[in-house]
Chain A
Amino acid sequence: MPGLRFEHVWKLYGRQAPAVADLSLDIAEGEFLVLVGASGCGKTTSLRMLAGLERPSYGRIWMGGKDVTDIPPGRRDVSMVFQSYALYPNMTVYKNLAFGPRVRREPREHIRRRVEEVAEILGIGGLLDRHPGELSGGQRQRVALGRAMIREPSLFLMDEPLSNLDAALRVQMRAELIRLHKRLERTATVYVTHDQVEALTMGDRVAVLKDGSLLQVGTPAELYDAPATVYVATFIGSPAMNVIPGRLSIVGGRPRVACLGAEFEVPWPLRPGAAARDVLVGIRPDDLGPAARAPRGAVRIGGRTDVCEQTGIAIYATVNCPGAALVARLPRSPVPAANQPIEVAFDPRDVHLFDSRTQASIADRSHPALAGVASPAAAAPPGTTK
């Protein structure tokens, strides 16, 4: 039985560009799907259509094998954390949490136990008598989360539920949410976030939206290792992937790339039909390190250090090379002085290749590195990590 399905769903508002454009996506029962994308790309709109608060302009939505496109929100068995929290200002925290169970006429004693349980998990047990207006932003957000958690629906919709929490609390809540999701085996979760760590650590799969369109959906590892477009490549991962113009040529049946004054052979098979052309070369900062530590066969590039960003376990340094500025990951000490000559290096296996016109990936990184044979267009085994 399929869990959830968007079938060619569109949402149009007035004359502006579509908020959601031709979205087709399957979400399995019990799956944790993370939706990511820049602000205004249609994440909230998609969630609202799943909840039934917004009717698709075109297309259908399926849940548990049933067409729910015209079914009202209350009959879809979903619970939702609103991006705006949507706490009832006239009720105390307790009553906010108890609202759903009360509406469903659950026994009083049972409600009280559930509310206390959830409040305990979220660390808001001491706030039950306050009104939402008397809470901090993070406290409100936890109440909003609690209101969704108090139920055991068949679908959780969470619109940036942790965005306002401090780092420590966020880690803790993340763990709680995963625990909750694991406990409710059949409940699917659709989770919107702007946080890279959340997206890549929590999701069974991650879907990247841009301007209302689904660009790519896959496991976190797939998105990280084999982004389908430049947009996904730079959107997933932090700091963002370095993207530099280069030139692809096929020499003796093997792809060779020239960029930044260096030339190297790409060990990945190209997608069918790839020929010599202008390309964009992507290298993640984490794959670009000091040349001194690089293995044999690494491509070395000289430049001068610029801004350094200390993260505690490493330094992300901007290196000005002729023709491009690259971000490289350096050991946390010694801290490089500004404008120092430096040589960085990367392994050609870590390179991503994109067509500079279509922005689409042309190196098939889902396959293990083979000799330069054009790849058969077979599906990748899921979960391939590097």
Chain B
Amino acid sequence: MTARPGAPAPAGTGAGAGEAPGPAAAAQAPGRPAVPQGLRRDAERFQWGSLALLVPSAALLAVLFIIPVVYAFYLGFTNLQLVGIHAVDWHFTGAENLRRLAGDQVFRYSMELTLAFIAGSVAGVVIIGLALAMLMQTALAPVRIVAGGIVIVAWMMPAITAGMTWYASTTAGGTFGTLLGLANSDFLHREPLLIVTLANIWSQTGFAMMVFGAALRNIPRDLLESAQIENASRPQRFARITLPLLRPTIVTTVLLITLISLANFGLIYVMTQGGPGNATDILPLYSYQQAFQFDNLAYGALIGNALVILCAIFGAIYVRASRSRA
């Protein structure tokens, strides 16, 4: 474009603009060219060569994952025992175990505990992790490094260590009680599920914080600035901009925390072994107890199967949630 200050006014662009809709438009006018038919070059196609590349990982998956899972699924419908006669002489028993499961009060209770544990853990980890990540963003560098370091150490700590630490802190005469001047209060005994959930939150939060921190850094600063100029309050900016943009990250984190929490068997086992009574007997623990303490391998496997299905349902829900648009 030419720009001649000597001749101002919009007329300056007249030369180029006037010609634009000339011959080109005329050629288009009497009927557009027909869209070609037949196979499109840009159509998605299956590439046979990709099969060869898939074979190694497919084989590994089959041997290490699919076959064991299918086998475990089958075991759930047998009378296999860890010791005794049915350890050797076992066979398919059809719906027998299912019937037992349906009438099993402990299983129902365990299911409820699991849902409560997961819901509490996920909510706690996401909220605290996000809050920490947002605080870290505005913190001065030294504070950020020290606080971040502590949270991450908590996350890297083996489940056994974390479990022992929490056990030691929350039983009678433990650190928390002493600090609060209630030396004899046995928190773990009184609110076992709550304490166990808190311990799990404590050990997962560092992970969530790191993931959210990375996602927050990826939100363009000018979006928040633009909202700031519009005098949007901090909560409004958070609700209308930050949160929607973090949504995919939150969904992924929720899924991961769900799975990691269910797999965080060691923590609860060290702290309560499912007790007192059955108060923290979430599905992974109950499955383990049935299989290896009461020697009902098959029944344990069936409970494990229920757990797998539960995870699959969670997964499906999250996948849907991450697809739909705000």
**Chain B residue contacts of A338, Cβ below 8 A:** none
Q: Is the CB of B15 within 8 A of A90?
A: no
State which of A53, A167, A238, A284 has its C-beta within 8 Å of the C-beta of B13: A167
Question: Once the chains bind, are A86 and B5 in contact (CB under 8 Å)?
Answer: no
Interface residues of A in 154-173 (CB under 8 A from B): 167-168, 170-171
Bound together, the chains give a CA A171 to CA B236 distance in angstroms of 37
A357 to chain B, nearest CB (A): 28
Tell me the bound Cα distance from A73 to B234 in angstroms: 13
CB–CB B220/A197 < 8 A = no
Q: How far is the CA of A175 from the CA of B232 in the complex (A)?
A: 31
* Cβ contact of A99, chosen from B8, B9, B222, B230, cutoff 8 A: B230
Known contacts A167-B17, A168-B20, A80 near B3 by CB under 8 Å: no
Interface size class of A (residues with CB under 8 A): 35 or more
Contact residues in A for B9 (Cβ distance below 8 Å): 201
Q: Is A237 located at the chain interface by the 8 A CB criterion?
A: yes
Interface membership of chain B positions 1-43, coded 1 if the CB is closer than 8 angstroms to chain A and 0 otherwise: 1111111111011011100100000000000000000000000
B1: A residues at CB distance < 8 A: 167
Q: Shortest CB–CB separation between residue A86 and chain B, in angstroms?
A: 4
Is B326 a contact of A90 with CB atoms below 8 Å?
A: yes
Q: Quick one: given A86-B223, A88-B223, A103-B236, are A75 and B231 in contact (CB under 8 Å)?
A: yes
Q: Is B210 an interface residue (CB 8 A)?
A: no
Chain B residues with CB below 8 A from A237, complex form: 5-6
Task: Assess whether A196 is in contact with B223, with CB atoms less than 8 Å apart.
Answer: no
Query: Are A80 and B240 in contact (CB-based, < 8 A)?
Result: no
Interface contact B10-A171, CB-CB below 8 Å: yes
Docked Cα-Cα span, A75 to B233, in Å, equals 11
Contacting pair B5 A238 (CB below 8 A)? yes
Residues from 210 to 253 in B contacting A, C-beta threshold 8 Å: 220, 222-223, 225-233, 236, 240-241, 244-245, 247
Kindly list chain A residues whose C-beta atoms are within 8 Å of the C-beta of B225.
51, 53, 73, 82, 86
Decide yes or no whether A200 CB sits under 8 A from chain B.
yes
B contacts with A, residue count (CB < 8 A): 35
The reply to whether B230 and A168 form a contact with Cβ atoms under 8 Å apart is no
> A250: shortest Cβ distance to chain B, in Å?
31
Tell me the smallest distance from the CB of B15 to a CB of chain A, in Å.
3
Chain B residues near A51 (CB-CB < 8 A) = 225, 229
Minimum CB–CB distance from A202 to chain B (whole Å) comes to 10
Which residues in A have their C-beta under 8 angstroms from that of B7? 313
- CA–CA, A195 and B225, complex, Å: 26
CB distance from A76 to the nearest CB of B (A): 8
User: What is the bound-complex CA distance between A174 and B228, given in angstroms?
Assistant: 27
Q: Which of A85-99 contact B (CB under 8 A)?
A: 86, 88-91, 99
Q: Contact: B13 with A99, CB < 8 Å?
A: no
| Closest Cβ–Cβ distance, residue A78 to chain B (whole Å) | 6
Complex interface bits, A231-252 against B, C-beta within 8 A gives 1, otherwise 0:
0000011100000000000000
Q: For the complex, give the distance between the alpha carbons of A313 and B231 in Å.
A: 49
Tell me which residues across on chain B come within 8 A of A84, comparing CB atoms: 220, 222
Chain A nearest CB: distance from B83 CB in Å? 58
Q: Would B15 and A312 count as touching, CB distance under 8 A? A: yes
A103 with B232: CB separation less than 8 A: yes
A72 at the interface (CB under 8 A from B): yes
Residue ID in chain A nearest B2 by CB atoms? A311
Alpha-carbon distance between A307 and B187 when the two chains are bound, in angstroms: 89
The answer on a CB contact under 8 Å between A197 and B5 is yes
Partner of A311 from B10, B15, B247 at Cβ < 8 Å: B15
A195 touches B3 (CB 8 A): yes
Main secondary structure of the interface of B (DSSP, over half): helix
1/0 per residue, CB under 8 A from B, across A127-164: the answer is 00000000000000000000100000000000000000
Determine whether A224 belongs to the interface, using a CB cutoff of 8 Å to chain B: yes
Residues of B within 8 A of A336 (CB): none
Q: Which residues 35-69 of B sit at the A interface, judged by CB distance below 8 A?
A: none
Are B6 and A286 in contact (CB-based, < 8 A)? yes
Checking A75, A89, A236 against B5 with a beta-carbon cut-off of 8 angstroms, the contacting residue is A236
Chain B residues positioned under 8 Å from A196 (CB to CB): 3, 5
Does A218 make an interface contact (CB < 8 A)?
no
A313–B15 contact, CB under 8 A? yes
A189 at the B interface (CB under 8 A): no
Complex interface: chain A residues within 8 A of B220 (CB) = 84, 86
Q: A89-B245, A201-B8, A312-B16 are known contacts. Are A78 and B229 too (CB-CB below 8 A)?
A: yes
Contact of B3 among A174, A220, A238 (CB under 8 A): A238
Is the pair B232, A74 in contact by a Cβ cutoff of 8 Å? yes
Give complex CA distance A10, B240 in Å.
Answer: 34
B residues 291-326 touching A (CB-CB < 8 Å) = 326
Cα distance A74–B7 in the bound complex, in angstroms: 40
Contact of A72 among B2, B223, B228 (CB under 8 A): B228
Partner of A90, one of B3, B4, B236, B244: B244
Return the chain A residue nearest B245 by Cβ: A90
Contact residues in A for B241 (Cβ distance below 8 Å): 88, 90
A91 CB contacts on chain B under 8 angstroms: 244
Which residues from chain B contact A313 at a C-beta distance below 8 Å? 7, 15
CB distance from B5 to the nearest CB of A (A): 4
Could you tell me the distance between the alpha carbons of A168 and B229 in the complex, rounded to whole angstroms? 31
**In whole angstroms, what is the CA distance A52 to B12 when docked?**
37
CB contacts (< 8 Å) of A100 on chain B: these are 230
Nearest B residue to A196, CB-CB: B3
In the complex, the answer to whether B20 meets A80 with C-beta atoms within 8 Å is no
Question: B17: nearest residue on chain A (CB-CB)?
Answer: A168
**Distance, CA A84 to CA B225, complexed state (A):** 12
Chain A contacts to B: CB under 8 angstroms: 51-53, 72-76, 78-80, 82, 84, 86, 88-91, 99-100, 103-104, 147, 167-168, 170-171, 174-175, 195-197, 200-201, 220, 224, 236-238, 284, 286, 311-313
Provide 5 A-B residue pairs closer than 8 Å at the C-beta atoms, listed in order of the A residue.
Answer: A86-B226, A100-B230, A195-B3, A197-B5, A200-B8
Residues of B within 8 A of A (CB): 1-10, 12-13, 15-17, 20, 220, 222-223, 225-233, 236, 240-241, 244-245, 247, 326
With A104-B230, A171-B17, A238-B5 already in contact, 6 other A-B pairs whose C-beta atoms are closer than 8 Å = A74-B228, A82-B222, A89-B245, A90-B241, A103-B227, A286-B4
